[in-house]
Amino acid sequence: MSSTIKEYLKQKPVLGYIPVHIKDLVRWEKELDGEIETTSKVARQAVKDEEVLKKKIEKLETGISVSIITLDRIDRNQLVREELESLLMAVEIFNRKYAQEGESDEL
């Protein structure tokens, strides 16, 4: 007889059906049960992996959001710092200009 279900199904029917031994049916059923169990394990693992990936993606998205907020603050702080430096330079220039002219009015 056939050793696998695929080989069995490839046989040509005799008088409308393909003869099969009960022992083959029992063995095939066990093989199918094993395949179903394996498939179920793989499916369960895939679901777990998907959940883990979702959590990792959420953490990454949160990290990216925090990084963007941090970078935005750094950018704003940098702009404020540059603006203050410009103002200080302007005050220094103003003070030097009037100090050279002999006036002592400082800002």
CA pair distance 87, 98, nearest whole angstrom: 16
pTM: predicted TM-score of the whole model, two decimal places: 0.42
User: How many degrees, rounded to 5, is the angle at CA 16 between CA 15 and CA 22?
Assistant: 90
49 pLDDT band (50/70/90 cuts)? very high
Q: Which two tokens stand for residue 86?
A: 């410009």
CA pair distance 84, 91, nearest whole angstrom: 10
Give me the residue spans of the domains in the chain. Answer: 5-100
How buried is 21 (Cβ within 10 angstroms: 0-12 exposed, 13-18 middle, 19+ buried)?
Answer: exposed
Tens-place pLDDT, residues 77-86: 888 888 888 8
CA pair distance 49, 36, nearest whole angstrom: 20
Say if CB 1 and CB 20 are below 8 A apart: yes
Who wins on pLDDT, 13 or 30?
Answer: 30
Tens-place pLDDT, residues 59-96: 888 888 888 888 788 888 888 888 888 888 888 888 88
